[in-house]
Chains A and B, each alone.
Chain A
Amino acid sequence: MKTSIVGLGQTEFSKNSGRSELRLATEAILAAMADAGLEVNDIDGLVRYTWDNTTEAAIVNALGLPSLKYYGETEFGGVNCCGAVAQASAAIEAGLASCIVFYRTLNARSGVRYGRGERILSEEDGRLINRQPEPPGDIYSAPFGLLVPGQHHALYAQSYKGQYGLSDDQFTDMLGSVAVTQRAYANNNPNALLRDKPLSMDDYRAGRVITEPLRIYDYCLETDGAMAMVIVSRERARSMGVKAVDVLSAGQYIYPGSVPMFLYAPVTHTLAPPEAGEDLFGKAGLKPSDIDVAGIYDATSMMVPLALEDFGFIGRGEAHQFLTSGGNGPTGALPVNTHGGLLSEGYFHGLNTIAEMVRQLRGESPNQVDAETAFITLRGASSMILGRA
């Protein structure tokens, strides 16, 4: 890729924004353009998720943009956080547009909640009816009570635990190391929803079980807010005098059964085949040991050990040792989710994961590490490598 991320913008994260998703989106887009030092009218492209309640037309009309030369959508929600950047980059390299904003807006706590069954069930005559064609919570899984993404993650978690024969205590220590380490990052991050709430290992162990083997602290936070980022060509970024971060490699990867919820994937204790990582690292000309900091889409804590193994940062079955010895911490071999992650900063469908890696490479993270390269993935379905400009 020959593009750069040159601006970040966001609203506050909250449990109740008190404003419409369109209003939130426009606030975030204005902030991102200001951060990039560009005029709002410079926007000539937009990318967004299909699971977003605003439309390109609504954004164009609300902001009074002169025109859009390109707009693109990527399927689902956070699955494509890096795919959206790949799409914007491809459009820029193809000359379809020159300044593309990737945005996400959702009232995911005060509005429709992804963690609740109401999203895919209707009550008719006292009965619960499902008409969802695809997971999560589709007609073949809903009758058994498999309804929301967090329950799917519990299935992968149990599969991993069984595959490597981890005891209950070992498994608890492994995921607790993710949750507790990330909460400590969040406690130092003024944007984090849980900045004022410390979490100890004892707190974690005492946490309520939501879907066994996952506890409440293994789950991300349903969050209201909006985020946006500005993508331009690397050449243009160099002429702008802002802190740009280069997209070294970005892409999408699915295989039969993998998306959206891995229910029908051949194996369930690993979610991305080696080829996904080889392709991504190959295009960036880097290897896992070259990466300084990682943003792993942690809808649940279980995504962290899976991604570390799937992308070759550690060997298969080594996550317990790596995480319980602080490998993901500030002085570890690979600091992970230094904003606190979706678990403790807020659930922003991966845009906040990307934003934190951009901040790390700009030298602006609240938990700054020495970083020239950053890796981001959502379960391998979309992934990206960023580099300091």
Chain B
Amino acid sequence: MTVIRPGDEYLAQPFWTHLANGTLHLSTCEDCNKAHHPPSPICPHCRSFNIGWKPASGKATLNTYAVARHAVHPLLADQVPYTITLVDLEEGVRLVSGIPNGMEVDLEIGMPLECKVVKIDDQLSLPYFLPAGAADQDQ
């Protein structure tokens, strides 16, 4: 199965290195304590440049989802159908996520989700968000 990976220059950045170490961290303002995503050099809430990284609780709700049935690249032909999600984290940020291929879950907008960091290889891990209970399923 072909994984789509950010270029190595991106995987060296904290968002991805924290994930490779097994945890989802969010770019967070050290002054007002609010998180933002995607990572930014300046806090969009208080405009401080004092930005750090804090672990996310992993709790989120499902904002919306879509199921890709048409492969938009030949190397993705063996992956469809797959589910893409938008998730709203407890910390007040939105992430793009999905459901790992092969996992069967029933989705409903507004349902609670939990983060599960799935290791792809030593450099790349992805933050999936799953319904409570499903996060413990073996893949």
B84 at the interface (CB under 8 A from A): yes
Q: CB within 8 Å of A: which of B1-52? A: 2-7, 9-10, 15, 37-38, 44
Contacts A128-B73, A145-B82, A210-B70; A158 near B7 (Cβ below 8 A): no
- Measured in the bound complex, the distance between the Cα atoms of B96 and A257 in whole Å is 13
- Measured in the bound complex, the distance between the Cα atoms of B110 and A159 in whole Å is 10
The tally of CB-CB contacts under 8 A between chains A and B is 133
Contact B64 A156 (CB under 8 A): yes
Contact A212 B67 (CB under 8 A): yes
Q: Which of A110-118, A195-203, A231-239, A366-374 makes up part of the contact surface?
A: A110-118
- Measured in the bound complex, the distance between the Cα atoms of B110 and A143 in whole Å is 23
B72 to chain A, nearest CB (A): 4
Residue of B4, B63, B68 near A121 (CB, 8 A) is B4
Residue of A142, A151, A162, A163 near B4 (CB, 8 A) is A142
Contact B110 A116 (CB under 8 A): no
A115 contacts across to B, CB distance below 8 A: 72
Residue of B66, B94, B109 near A213 (CB, 8 A) is B66
Contact B72 A147 (CB under 8 A): yes
- Residue of A with least CB distance to B98: A144
- Measured in the bound complex, the distance between the Cα atoms of B75 and A166 in whole Å is 35
B104 to chain A, nearest CB (A): 15
Contact with A along B57-78 (1 / 0, CB 8 A): 0000001111111101101100
Contact B68 A151 (CB under 8 A): yes
Residue of B15, B63, B98, B109 near A145 (CB, 8 A) is B98
Interface size class of B (residues with CB under 8 A): 35 or more
How many interface residues does A have (CB within 8 Å)? 45
A96 to chain B, nearest CB (A): 33
B130 at the interface (CB under 8 A from A): no
B95 at the interface (CB under 8 A from A): yes
B117 at the interface (CB under 8 A from A): no
- Residue of A with least CB distance to B107: A158
Contacts A115-B72, A158-B109; A130 near B5 (Cβ below 8 A): yes
Q: B residues near A, CB below 8 A?
A: 2-7, 9-10, 15, 37-38, 44, 63-70, 72-73, 75-76, 79, 81-82, 84-86, 93-98, 108-110, 124, 126
A-B contact pairs, 5 of them (CB 8 A): A129-B4, A143-B3, A145-B79, A212-B69, A264-B38
